[in-house]
A and B are shown apart, each in its own frame.
Chain A
């Protein structure tokens, strides 16, 4: 089975032999790749029944649960990398997720859609209605994405969470690495991005 292109980008940011915690892991495709082909270990957290069964069928370790309730069971520095792939915009408390990410791992990988993309801005400006796109197809009242933000918004939260951006890969509309304008001005031209984050060494940060 081929891995979704953005998940392949995420996988490439994770070193072999890493201990990985994938929050909102869906059907476990990313963990399957990491465990099967990159000698990683770890587990996923997934709320949906479909996702849970998908993981179980693949043999990917999964705990059914709600990321918004925090990771109180997980110890400080228990894993090497925490992944939030297309998850953070669906959480009630994204800031809690980043804080927990920072607590339990040195590194974090986050991918998210960019609500600052020019097409969405234009749609809001011209139509005066909440925009939809191939990545964000739902109406405002039925979307699971309750905390949409622009890449710049997200980067502000990263800074406030005591994390540093090590790498940022802009994505195009087909979830692949974007080039050209999207690389130069991602907040305006990228459909989304994958971030590689690291915990600040500054112990005074939260």
Chain B
């Protein structure tokens, strides 16, 4: 039973640049939650630091806006406390794949049941325009003054290789498509990644909305089989004249982290009564 996305509106002033690719992502997040009938107090948004990290302030909802790069560990603890509440993790490319790169690897290994939405604009916005882990080779910044010569990180290939349940890429310029991806991701049991191509209107004069509009296409419409990992990985390497978006990989044969934890089978841990006298049996073992 869907609700109005307006339920998610708040009046906190938005500090993003006019025309920023973050606006449509915010809209897509609100829209997909509303379509799933979730009320603001029934969902938790966890975010880090960077322009993306502010997203949770611009909508209603429970939120934990933590440290740079550390959203996935915070989300892990939140899921342990109560796996009945859906968790969205919002991060940027620097936040998720740079500072938090290790946690990204291990959240994939855990198959944590969260939806990770990465605002991937291939640049550091908040610190005014340095290269990020996903910046294309050759891109010149004030720090990478000879152009980036490091290999860009490929989050889709890694997630597919780790057999994540849901691996997708959206584009901030295609709102209904992106909303559909986020909605599907939220219904997946296990780790879901929605990497979102998002033009930085201030620091990237190359990858503009127009640049993407001319290149993006949905791989589903061209016969890609999302159960085929090899094909998903190969597709994730396509970049240039054509830029693929859509569902790259699906894996239904997984068990989430939360479902493997025996104490959670009794229901949310936070609801279980605490009884200190139960520790008596432990004390006995030291006699």
A binds B: no
Q: Chain B residues in contact with chain A, CB under 8 A?
A: none
Q: Chain A residues in contact with chain B, CB under 8 A?
A: none
